[in-house]
Structure 1
Amino acid sequence: MELNIEKLQTLLGIMINELGAAQNAALVIIGEELDLYRKMAGRGPVSSAELADATDTKERYVREWLSAQAASGFVDYEAATGKFRLSPEQAAVFAVDDSPVNMTGGFQALDAVYADRAKLTHAFRHGGGVSWTDRCSCMFCGTDRFFRPGYKANLVGNWLPSLDGIVEKLERGARAADVGCGFGSSTLMMATAFPKSQFTGIDFHAHSIEHASGHAGGMSNVRFETARAQDFEGAGFDLVTMFDALHDMGDPVGAVSHIAKALKPDGTLMLVEPMAGDSLADNLNPVGRIFYAASANTCVPASLGQEVGAALGAQAGQAKLTEVLKAGGFSKVRRATETPFNMVLEARL
C-alpha cells in the first residue's frame, strides 16, 4: 500500500489534536470540580502555588494542570513572571456559570460516556439500547449544564417571542407543559419570567424530576411530574415545549400525537432541536461533529432502549422533524428562529 505523505501528515496532525483534546477533557472536568477556573477568574496573574493555596489543592498537581491548560490555550502564560491568568474570554467559557458560552457541562457529560462505554459497546455488537435510566448520573448533570447557558441566553428573550402570540398569552396567564424537562432548568426559567402562567415540567426519569422539584424553591406556578411524553396527564395547554428531547425518544410520533391532543385548538408546540441540515453533507462541520458524536454515544442508544426505537438522532434535520410533527397531527410547521446550536420549530394544529 502506497501512502500519500501529504494526506498522512494532515491526518496525523488532526490525530495529535484529538489526543490532546481527549487528554485535556479530563483536566477540564477536574478544573471545574476543584474550582480552579473560578478562582482564577477576575483576578490578576497567579502562580501555581497561589492557585493551589486558594483551592486547597497540591501545588505540584496544579502546576502541571496549568501547564496543560496553557498548552491548550485555555489559560494564558506569562513567561516573564512564570504566572498564569484567565482572560475574560476564557473565563466566559470555563468559569462563569451564567455565561451563554460556558462549555464545561459538555465535558462533564463526557464522564458518563466513558463510564458507560462497555454498555455502548455491547449495544453496538448485540443491538438494543442504553436507556437514560441506565446512564451514569453525571450524564444528567452534564447535559443540564451544557444546554442551560443557551436556554438562559435565548429562551425568554428570543425563542418565545419568535412564536406567534405566545408571549402575550403567557403574560396574561396561560397553561404550559415542558415535556422532557430533565432537571427543569427550562421550566423554571419560563415560570420565573411569566408568574401569571402555570407550568408543568414532565419527564419519565424520576431522579431528574426529584432534582427539578428540589430547585423549584416553593414557586407557586410550577410543578413537576414523572410521566412519559406519550401519555402524561392533562389537557387544554396553550403551549407545550420540548427542549433537545424529541430525538431521544423511542416513539417520537406517539409523543407528538399525545401533545397534539393535550393542546388547545389554538395551542402551540415549540420544538427546540440541535441545529442540523437535512443531509449528512450539510452537517460535516464542527457543530455537526459534536452532535453526531453525542448522538452515537447517547441519543441513538437512548431511543433504541425504548419502545419503537425510532432513533431519529441528534442531527435529524428540519425536514425529518417536520415529517414527525405532521405524522403526529400538526398541520403547520415553521422554523421560528435559530442559533448556531439549535433550531426552534413552531408547530400548530
Structure 2
Amino acid sequence: MALPTTADEPVDEEKLDELLGMAVAELGAAYYAPLIVIGDRLGLYEALADGGPFTPAELAERTDTVEPYVSEWLAAGAAGGYVTYDSETGRYGLTPEQAALLADEDSPAFLAGGFQGLMGYQRSLSAIEADFRTGEGVGWHEQDGDVCHGTERFYRPGYETNLVADWIPALDGLDARLRAGARVADVGCGHGASTVIMAEAYPNSAFVAVDYHDRSIEVARQRADEAGVADRIGFEVATATEFTGTDYDLVTMFDAYHDMGDPVGAASHVREALADDGAWMLVEPFANDRVEDNLNPIGRAFYCASTMACVPNSLDQGGAPVLGAQAGEARLREVITEGGFTSVRRATETPFNLVLEARP
C-alpha cells in the first residue's frame, strides 16, 4: 500500500514509524492515567508500599477489592514501569522511588494528585471543545471537583518542601518580618494549603485566605481547623481585584495569577493593598520566555493543563489579557509593572516554579 503524501512530499517511513511508536506510548500512558487515580483512591499503591510485594490475590484481599481487576491493574502498572514484577514469585511491589511518586502524599515527588486533576479536566471536554469556537470560558467554580482537589494535592508537596525553607527566605527581609509578626493576604488560595503552611511556620503573623470560589474557602477553613491554625487565619470570598484590607506586609499568589481574567487589575489592586514597604510574592509555573524553549516535558504538561483549565478560567473572567500557564518571566513582569509596580525580580526558582518578588 502506498504511503500518503503531504504537500507533494513523500512520507518518510522511518520517521513515521518513530512517530507511531511515540503515539502508541502516549496512548498507553493516557489509558494508565485513570488507573493511577483508581489505585490512589482504593489504597492499592499505599498497600504495596506498606506491605508488598504481593500476588494479585494477596493485594485484593488486603484492600478489599476483587482479584481479576487487581491482576490487570498490576500488570498495567508493571508494563508502564510504575510497579515492579517478579516473574519467579508472581508478586508485584513498589521500589522506594515508585512509592515516593504514587504512595507517599508527603513526598515532594508525589504526582497522584496531578492525575486526579487530569481526570477532572476531561469531564469538561465537551464544554471546552465548544469554547474553542465561541471564545467563552469555563471557570474554576464550574470545573469538576477533582480539578480543585487534584490541584491542591499536586502543588501542596512542593509548597511544603520549598515555601518556608527556600521561597520566603529568598524575599528581601520578609522571613524576619513574618517571624516578628506581619499581615499577609494569600490571594487565590484554593483549598488553603499555602496559607496553612505559612500560618504553621509563622505563629506571630496574621493571615487572610482569599479565593473567589466559595466552596474552596469552605475547604480552606476546614484545613485550617484540622491544622490548629484557624485562630491565625481569616477567610474571604473575593476576587483578586476586590479583596479587602490595606497595609499588608506581604501578598502572595501561588500558581493562580496566570488564571485571572484581569491580571493588570489584580496587580493594581495588590499594589493598593500593600504597605509602602510591602512585597508581593508570585509563584508561577516555570516557563522560559520563548515557546521554543518550553518544548519539553514540563512545558508540555503546563501547556496542556493551561488549555483545559487556566485559559478557560481567564476567558470566563474576561481574559484581558490571557496569560496562560507558560507566560514566562518577561510577560509576567510586563503585566505586573503595568499594574503599578516599579520593581520585579526573580527571587528563586525550581524546575517547576518561578518565584517573583514585586515591590511598589
Q: Indicate which of 171, 174, 179 corresponds to 1:163.
A: 171
Match of 1:12 in 2: 20
Equivalent residue runs for 1:76-115 within 5 Å: 76-115=84-123
Q: Indicate which of 142, 148, 162 corresponds to 2:156.
A: 148
Q: Indicate which of 237, 247, 250 corresponds to 1:236.
A: 247
Match for 2:122: what amino acid? Answer: Y
Q: Indicate which of 331, 340, 345 corresponds to 1:320.
A: 331
Structure 2 CA distance, aligned partners of 1:306 and 1:11?
Answer: 38
Q: CA offset at residue 125 of structure 1?
A: 1.7
Match of 2:317 in 1: 306
Matched, 1:247 2:258: yes
Match of 2:81 in 1: 73
Q: Indicate which of 280, 286, 289 corresponds to 1:278.
A: 289
The answer for unaligned runs of 5 or more in structure 2 is none
Structure 2 CA distance, aligned partners of 1:111 and 1:35?
Answer: 18
Q: CA offset at residue 153 of structure 1?
A: 0.6
Q: Indicate which of 339, 347, 357 corresponds to 1:336.
A: 347
Q: CA offset at residue 311 of structure 1?
A: 1.3
Q: CA offset at residue 215 of structure 1?
A: 1.3
Q: Indicate which of 35, 42, 45 corresponds to 1:27.
A: 35
Structure 2 CA distance, aligned partners of 1:337 and 1:215?
Answer: 28
Matched, 1:287 2:295: no
Q: CA offset at residue 307 of structure 1?
A: 2.6
Match of 2:236 in 1: 225
Match for 1:36: what amino acid? Answer: L
Aligned-pair Cα RMSD in Å = 0.8
Number of corresponding residues: 349
Match of 2:356 in 1: 345
Match of 2:218 in 1: 210
Matched, 1:41 2:52: no
Structure 2 CA distance, aligned partners of 1:265 and 1:27?
Answer: 51
Structure 2 CA distance, aligned partners of 1:309 and 1:266?
Answer: 29
Task: Give structure 1 regions of 4+ aligned residues with deviation exceeding 6 angstroms.
Answer: none
| Structure 1 stretch displaced more, 2-11 or 160-169 | 2-11
Structure 2 CA distance, aligned partners of 1:131 and 1:265?
Answer: 33
Structure 2 CA distance, aligned partners of 1:93 and 1:181?
Answer: 25
Structure 2 CA distance, aligned partners of 1:331 and 1:125?
Answer: 38
Match for 1:306: what amino acid? Answer: Q
Match of 1:199 in 2: 207
**Distance change (3 Å), C-alpha of 1:128 and 1:255:** same
Q: Deviations over 1:284-333 (max 9, x none)?
A: 11100000111111111110011344210000000000001101111111
Q: Contact 2:260 / 2:319 at 8 angstroms: preserved in 1? A: no
Equivalent residue runs for 1:172-187 within 5 Å: 172-187=180-195
Structure 1 CA distance, aligned partners of 2:174 and 2:62?
Answer: 47
Q: CA offset at residue 114 of structure 1?
A: 1.2
Match of 2:67 in 1: 59
Q: Contact 2:137 / 2:315 at 8 angstroms: preserved in 1? A: yes
SS at match of 2:209: strand
| Structure 1 stretch displaced more, 214-223 or 79-88 | 214-223
Match for 2:317: what amino acid? Answer: Q
Structure 2 CA distance, aligned partners of 1:13 and 1:98?
Answer: 35
Structure 2 CA distance, aligned partners of 1:97 and 1:164?
Answer: 31
Normalised by the length of structure 2, the TM-score is: 0.96
Q: Deviations over 1:55-92 (max 9, x none)?
A: 10001100000000000000100011000111110000
Q: CA offset at residue 44 of structure 1?
A: 3.6
Match for 2:166: what amino acid? Answer: N
The answer for unaligned runs of 5 or more in structure 1 is none
Q: Indicate which of 260, 268, 280 corresponds to 2:271.
A: 260
Structure 1 CA distance, aligned partners of 2:25 and 2:54?
Answer: 27
SS at match of 1:216: helix
Q: CA offset at residue 10 of structure 1?
A: 1.0
Identity %: 54
Q: CA offset at residue 111 of structure 1?
A: 1.4
Structure 2 CA distance, aligned partners of 1:224 and 1:231?
Answer: 14
Structure 1 CA distance, aligned partners of 2:345 and 2:320?
Answer: 26
Matched, 1:269 2:280: yes
**Distance change (3 Å), C-alpha of 1:232 and 1:55:** same
